[in-house]
């Protein structure tokens, strides 16, 4: 399964987990643990995912190159990119924004 990394929830209550090392984002039902679907990303070091877009129906997936050897980068030239996955039929929530007291002007 790779290593679970960044994750997000959709509005149906399902968990989407970026799986570092295998280039996949996998959706689970967090109550039953059932794997619901899998999205393959053309870069093995998937690091995080979140929903966005005008209707919150696009899944954005980040990937990394840190620690990748030249052979891996040649095989997966899109490593380090951000990918947009559409037509999943699900929506997510907007990200929470954190503002510290030091930057909020208080």
Q: The CATH number of the domain where 75 resides is what?
A: 2.40.10
Provide DSSP, 76-102.
-TTTT-EEEE---S--BPPPP----TT
In the prediction, which pLDDT does 97 show? 81
Q: Please report whether residue 106 resides in a domain.
A: no
Is 71 in the active site?
Answer: no
Q: Please report whether residue 19 resides in a domain.
A: yes
pLDDT digits (tens, 9 = 90+) for 23-34: 999 999 999 999
CA atoms of 74 and 70, how far apart (whole Å) = 6
CA atoms of 104 and 102, how far apart (whole Å) = 6
Q: Please report whether residue 28 resides in a domain.
A: yes
Range of the domain at 12: 3-85
Residue numbers of the chain with a pLDDT score lower than 70: 1, 102-106
Number of domains in the chain: 1
Q: Please report whether residue 102 resides in a domain.
A: no
Q: Tell me the β-bridge partners of 62.
A: 48, 82
User: For the whole model, what pTM was predicted?
Assistant: 0.88
């Amino acid at each position: 399964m790779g290593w679970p990394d960044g994750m997000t929830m959709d509005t149906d209550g399902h968990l989407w987990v970026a799986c570092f090392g295998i280039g996949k984002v996998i959706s689970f039902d967090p109550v039953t643990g059932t794997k619901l679907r899998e999205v393959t990303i053309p870069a093995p070091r998937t690091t995080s995912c979140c929903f966005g877009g005008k209707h919150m129906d696009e899944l954005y997936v980040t990937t990394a190159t840190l620690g990748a050897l030249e052979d891996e980068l040649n095989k997966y030239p899109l490593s380090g990119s951000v990918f947009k996955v559409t037509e999943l039929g699900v929506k997510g929530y907007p990200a929470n924004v954190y503002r510290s007291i030091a930057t909020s002007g208080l």
